[in-house]
A and B are shown apart, each in its own frame.
Chain A
Amino acid sequence: MFVLLLIHLLIGTAILLTGDRFGRRAFAVAALAPLLTLGWAAAQWSGVVGDPNALDAEGHATPGTPVIESVGWIGGLDLDLVLRFDAFSLVMTLLVSGIGLLVCIYAIGYFAHIEPGQSRLAGLMTFFAAAMLGVVWADHLIALFIAWELTSITSYLLIGNDDRNPRARAAALQAIFITGAGGLALLLGLIIIGQSAGTYRLSEMIDSPPSGGAVAAGLICILLGAFTKSAQAPFGSWLPSAMVAPTPISAYLHSATMVKAGVYLVARLAPIVAATGQWRVLVLVVGSVTMIIGGLRAMRQRDLKLLLAYGTVSQLGFMMLLFGPGEYKIAQAGIVLLLAHGAFKATLFMLVGVIDHQVGTRHIRELHGFGAGWMPVKVMAVIGAASMAGLPPLLGFVAKEKALDTYVEYGDFAGANVTLIVIVVGSILTFAYSARFVLGVFGVHGQDDCEIRSRTAPAPAPVFVGPIVVLTVFTVVAGVFPALISNLTEAALLAIDPNSTPSPVKLWSGFNTAFMLSLLIIGVGTVLAVFRRRVAAVQTAASQPLRRLPSTDQAFGGTIRGIDAVARRVTRIVQNGSLPVYLLVIIGTAVLVPVVPMLGELDELPQFVENPLQIPIVAIIIGSALGAALVHRRIAAIVMLSAVGFAMAALYEAQGAPDLALTQFAIETLGTVLFVLVLRFLPTRFIDLAPAVIRPIRLLVSVLVGAAIFVFAIVSTNAREDVAEESISTEMVERSLPDGDGKNVVNVILVDFRGVDTMGEITVLVVAAVGAVALARGSRRPDEDETEPADLERTEETVA
C-alpha cells in the first residue's frame, strides 16, 4: 500500500515538474495511478471480503482478513504509520480510484483545448488521490488526520488553480478556512479520543472504547471536523462556492470522494461511540437540517452544477443520518448509498461538464434541448437523475429502499421516527430537484429570449462520454442485480462493526412499509415536479422573511472580517512601532520573569574579593561603565564600553582562564570596529527627544537590569552548593584528554562534548550575517525594481 501511495506521489511530482509540456495527455499519465490501485484492490478482493455469510462456531459472522502494513515513524511518540485495508476501505478505494480513473479519462475530453496551467490539475489530482487513499487506509488516528489535512490542501490548490480568477481564489480560501478550522477541531478531538481509549488505532478501539469525562467534548470536536469536511449545515457554504473549479475536479473531489471523508469518519466511529455524549443527537439534527436545506436550495438553482452541488450537500446529510446512529443495519444502507451516490453524482456532474463544454452554458434557461447525436447524453441524464431520485430498478432505489426499510425495522433509538420523516421529506425534495435537472437538460426551462445555442451544439466525442457510460452501466446493473455488490457491502459492514450480522441487499423485498414510503415519495415528488411554478412561488414567499438573516456565505465573510479587525486592533496596540517601548517590554520581561523567583534563593553572599588583582580591574570596569552612561558623544561611549570589555578580559586572565580571556579580547576588538562602522550612520551626539517623564522610567529600568544581573550571578554561583553530586565541569576536565583527545578543555567542549550546540550557534551566525546583508541591501534597491514584473505581464495580457 505504501508503494501505491509512493507511485501516486511520483506520478504527481512528475506531472507537476513537466509543467504544460504534456498538455491534456498529463491526465492519461495521471490515470495510471488509480489504474494500478484498482488492480491491486482487485487482487486483494477475495481475501479482504471473505465470505460474510459464513458463520463461525459461535454463530458470529466472519469478517475477511484485512491487509495491514506498518512503518515506524516517530518511535518516541508511539506513532506508527499503520495502513489497514479492510472491506470498508475497499468500498472507499473503489470510489476514490474507480471514479478517479474515469475522471482522468473524462478530463482528456474536457480539456480538449487546454490552457496553460491546467495540466497541473492532473498532478494535483494524483496528489489528492494519494491523500484520500491515506484517509481511507489509515488505521492510526494521527496518520488519518495528516492525510485528512492533505486532502484539504490539495482541494484548496485544485479549486484555486485558475489563480487569475478572483472567484476561484476566494472559493479556494473559503474552502480551506472552513475545512482547516474543522481540521484543527478534529486534531483536538482525535487526541482526546486516542488518549482516553488508550490506543490511537481505529481497529483496536472497537475493543477498548474511549471512556472518561473528556470523551463527550472530544466527540464534539471530531464531529466539527467531519461536518466541515462533509459540508454539513451550517458549514456547507464552501461546497457550492467550490463549484468554480473545472467540472472534472468538482465531479471527483466535491461529489464523489473528498466530501465523503467526514461521512467515512462518522461511519468508522459511530459503532464505537454512538451512545456516548451528544453524538447521536448532534449527527441526527445536523444531518436532518442539511438534508432538508440542501434539497430546498437545490430546487431553486438555475445553474445545473450548483443544483447538483446542493444535491450533494443534501445527500451527505442523508448519509450522516444513516451512519451516525451506529446501528449496523442502517449503516449497511449507508454503504450502499455511498456506492450509489458516487456513481450517479459523478455521472451527472460529468454530464453537466459535457453540456457546459459543448454548448458553453449550463444554465437551464439557456438550454433548449439538443440536436442529433445527443441521445446517449439524454439517456444517461435520465438514468442518473432517476437513480438520484430513487426510482427502480436503479442502485439509488436499492439504497433508499434499504435505508427506509432498516429505519422502519430497527430505528429504535430516540428520535428515529422523526428522522424517518426527515428522510422521507428529504427524498421527496430529492425527487423534485432530480426532475428539475432532467427537465433542465431537456430544455423545458429554456427561455425564448435567450440565444438558442444548444440545438446546434456538436455532440461530444466518445472519450468524453465513455467514462459516463461506464458509471451508468454500473448504476443499472448493480440496481437490477444487487447481489453483485451484496457481498461487498456485507463485508464492509463487518469491517465497521465486527459484531453485526449483515443481511443481503435486494432490489425487491415485497410490499412492505418501505415500499409504500417509496411510492409516497415518488407520488408527492411527481406532484411537486408538475406544479413546479407554484412550488417555486411558495418557496420564494416562504423564504422572504429569511432574507433578512445573513446567509452562510455572508456569515463566513463577516467572521473573516471580524477576525481581521481584531487582529489589526491587537497589532496596533502590541506593535505600535516605538522601539523604546519594545525594548522596555523585552527587558522588563527578561528581568522580572526569571529573577523574581530567584530572589528567594538569595541567601548568602559569596566572598567578593578572591584576588587583590581584581580590585583595580573591577574599578576600571565600574568607572568605564558609568562613563559610558554619562558621556554625550557616541564615539566616547563606545570607547568606554570597549574599556569595560577589555577589563573583563583582564579579569578572566586574572582568574586563570587564558582561553576565555583570549576570546573576550578578540571579540571586544572586533565589536569596537563594528560599532564604529555603524556609528557613522548615526548622529555624533546622543539627541534626547523624549519627554522628561521618560527619564526616571529609563533610570528605573536600568537599575532593575543591573540589580537583576547581580542577583542572577550570585544565585547561579551558589546554585550547585546544595547539590550532592560533583559539578559537571570536573567530569569534563577529566574526560577531555582521553575522550576528546585535546588538552584544551574549553575547545574540546566546543567542538566535541557540546559540538552540536556549536553547530547550532554557527548556523545562527550564518543566518544573522545573511540577514544583516539583506537588511542593509534591501533598503537600497534601485528604483527601477519598483515596477514588478508581474504587473508588466498583466498589462501585456490586457493589451493582447
Chain B
Amino acid sequence: MKRSLILDVSVRLLYPSIIVLSLYFLFSGHNQPGGGFVGGLAASAGISLRYVTSGVDAVRRSFRLEPWTILGLGLAIAVGTAIFPMLLGGDILEHGTLKLHPPLLHDVKVTSALAFDIGVYLVVIGLVLMIFEAFGDDREHEMEMIEAPTEPAMSIGEEYRPLSQHSPARFWLPDDEGAT
C-alpha cells in the first residue's frame, strides 16, 4: 500500500491529541458536553485514522490488551458499578459522590457515575477494535493487496473480484453467489 507522508505525519501528531480529547470528554462529561459514549466515539475516530494510515497491525500495537478483553472489562466495570450499591443495600446504580482536595488542583468532585462512564467508554472502544479485528485484517486479503498494490486504502475493491469461499464477503453477497 502506498502511504501518504502528509497523512502519516499528521495522524501521528493528531492521534495522541485525539486520545487526550476523548479522555477530556470522558472526565468532563458529567458537567459539560461529553461523557463516556462521546469520549469512546472520539477515541474510536482516532483509532480509525490510525487504521487508515497504517493498517490493522498499528491499531493492534497501540493497545496492549486484546479487543475482547477491553470489551469485557468495560462491561464488567459498568455492571460492577451498577451492582455495587446493591451489595451495600442501596438501589441499583445509586451513585455516590466523593469530594477531594488534592494539592495544585482545585476541589475535585468524583462521582461513581464516572466509573460507569469509563465502562461505557471502554465498551465503545472495544467494539470498534473488534470490528477492525473482524473486517480490517488485510492479511486475510493479501491476494487483493498484491494485485492492486498501488491503490490507496480507500479504494480497494475498485474492480469486483469474486472472493474465495472462506472470505467474510459471503455474508454480503446475494444468496446465489454466497451459497456456492
Contacts and interface: CB of A to CB of B under 8 A. Distances in A.
A742 to B, nearest CB: 4
Interface string B142-180: 001000000000111111100100111111101100000
A762 interface: yes
Contacts of A670: 41, 44-45, 48, 128
B135 A776 contact: yes
A550 interface: no
B157 A680 contact: yes
A741 B172 contact: no
B50 to A, nearest CB: 11
B92 interface: yes
A744 B37 CA distance: 13
Contact of A666 (B38, B78, B126, B136): B38
Interface string B31-58: 1111111100110110010011000000
Interface stretch (B3-11, B67-75, B100-108): B67-75
Contacts of B128: 670, 674
B154 A635 contact: yes
Interface stretch (A235-243, A248-256, A393-401, A747-755): A747-755
Given A743-B31, A775-B134, A759 B78 contact: yes
Interface string A736-778: 0000111110111011100110110011011011101101110
A473 B30 CA distance: 79
B172 A678 contact: yes
B1 interface: no
Interface in A713-748: 740-744, 746-748
Given A681-B168, A742-B31, A750 B37 contact: yes
A659 B34 contact: yes
Given A681-B169, A769-B130, A741 B109 contact: yes
A779 B127 contact: no
A67 interface: no
Contacts of B68: 770, 773
A669 B168 contact: no
Given A673-B51, A747-B34, A769-B71, A681 B127 contact: no
Contacts of B25: 662
Contacts of A679: 157
A744 B135 contact: no
Nearest to B138: A680
Contact of A769 (B42, B111, B126, B168): B126
Given A683-B160, A779-B168, A762 B123 contact: yes
A755 B33 contact: no
Contacts of A418: none
Interface in B64-92: 67-68, 71-72, 74-75, 78-79, 82, 92
Give the contact-size bracket for chain A: 35 or more
Contacts of A635: 154-155
A666 B41 contact: yes
B62 interface: no
A684 B44 contact: no
A681 B157 contact: yes
Nearest to B117: A751
A755 B120 CA distance: 11
B175 A577 contact: yes
Interface string B121-142: 0011011101111111000110
A541 interface: no
A726 to B, nearest CB: 25
A682 interface: yes
B132 A677 contact: yes
A744 B33 CA distance: 6
A747 B29 contact: yes
Contacts of A772: 130-131, 134-135
B117 to A, nearest CB: 6
Interface residues of B, number: 70
Contacts of B79: 759
Interface in A661-707: 662-663, 666-667, 669-670, 673-674, 676-684, 687, 689
Contact of A681 (B44, B133, B155, B167): B167
A229 to B, nearest CB: 41
A750 B40 CA distance: 14
B113 interface: yes
B19 interface: no
Of the listed residues B131, B132, B156, B169, the one surrounded by the most CB atoms of chain A closer than 10 A to its CB is: B131
B92 A741 contact: no
Contacts of A674: 48, 128, 131
B154 A775 contact: no
A679 B131 CA distance: 14
A64 to B, nearest CB: 43
B59 to A, nearest CB: 12
Contacts of A763: 75
A742 B28 CA distance: 10
Contacts of A663: 37-38, 41
B127 A748 contact: no
B95 interface: yes
B27 to A, nearest CB: 11
B156 A743 contact: no
A635 B158 CA distance: 10
Contact of A741 (B29, B111, B126, B175): B111
B45 A677 contact: no
A780 interface: yes
A743 B74 CA distance: 24
Interface in A578-594: 578-579
A468 to B, nearest CB: 55
A677 B82 CA distance: 35
A164 interface: no
A680 B78 contact: no
Contacts of A750: 35-37, 120
A769 B175 contact: no
Given A762-B120, A777-B134, 8 more contacts: A577-B175, A659-B34, A670-B48, A678-B172, A681-B167, A687-B160, A766-B71, A780-B167
19 contacts: A667-B41, A674-B48, A681-B168, A684-B160, A741-B97, A742-B30, A744-B29, A747-B117, A748-B30, A750-B37, A750-B120, A752-B93, A755-B113, A755-B116, A762-B123, A766-B72, A768-B127, A769-B126, A773-B130
